[in-house]
Amino acid sequence: MILHTIGYEGASQGAVIAALKAAGVRLLLDVRELPSSRRAGFSKSPLRASLEAEGIAYLHLKKLGTPKEGRLANRAGRMDEFWSIVEEGLARPEAQYELGLAGSLSLDKPACLLCFEADHSQCHRLTVANRLTAAHGFDVIHLRPDPGF
């Protein structure tokens, strides 16, 4: 079973949706703590509506998001601190519950984890994907939206 991830940094909503459709994704799991964005089309309600119009379900899993202090550490380039905060957050019981839910749902239909960063190696969704892989044996594919779409 495959689990996809995608970041929307530098991409249009259309490019992200095209990448999801090309990969056969049927469920987008939004793993941002705060599902809002300055980029048009990536706040929770407009994103959900656009996805559902294309036959892709949407679910926000807030507890799998990076807490504010982690986002600040990432922006400042304090990556050791960032990864430590991510690990601490994912160890909380409410995050463990949402990890279980994400795993179960991803076994039922092709799913993709969404966050902001284009480079998955700099994003907490990599840790989320790795935990889901350890628990369920997923093969992970990191999608890159075509910026020209």
How do residues 94-138 score in pLDDT, each as one tens digit?
999 999 999 999 999 999 999 999 999 989 999 999 999 999 999
- Is 7 inside any structural domain? yes
- Is 73 inside any structural domain? yes
Reply yes or no on whether the pLDDT at 40 is more than 70: yes
- Is 34 inside any structural domain? yes
- Is 72 inside any structural domain? yes
Could you tell me the CATH number of the domain that includes residue 120? 3.40.1010
Task: Please give the C-alpha separations between residue 62 and each of 75, 76, 117, in angstroms, as whole numbers.
Answer: 20, 23, 17
Asked whether the beta carbons of 106 and 2 are under 8 A apart, the reply is no
**C-alpha span between 6 and 109 (Å, rounded):** 17
pLDDT digits (tens, 9 = 90+) for 56-73: 999 999 999 999 999 999
- Provide, rounded to the nearest whole percent, the portion of the chain with pLDDT above 70: 98
Residue 25 corresponds to which amino acid? V
- Is 149 inside any structural domain? no
Q: Domain range spanning residue 59?
A: 2-143
Reply yes or no on whether the pLDDT at 51 is more than 60: yes
- For the entire predicted model, the pTM comes to 0.94
- Is 135 inside any structural domain? yes
Domains: count for the chain: 1
pLDDT digits (tens, 9 = 90+) for 3-20: 999 999 999 999 999 999
- Is 110 inside any structural domain? yes
Residue 148: pLDDT band with limits 50, 70, 90: low
Reply yes or no on whether the pLDDT at 149 is more than 70: no
Is 16 buried (19+), middle (13-18) or exposed (0-12) by CB count in 10 A? buried
Residues 6+ apart with CB under 8 A from 74: 66, 82, 122
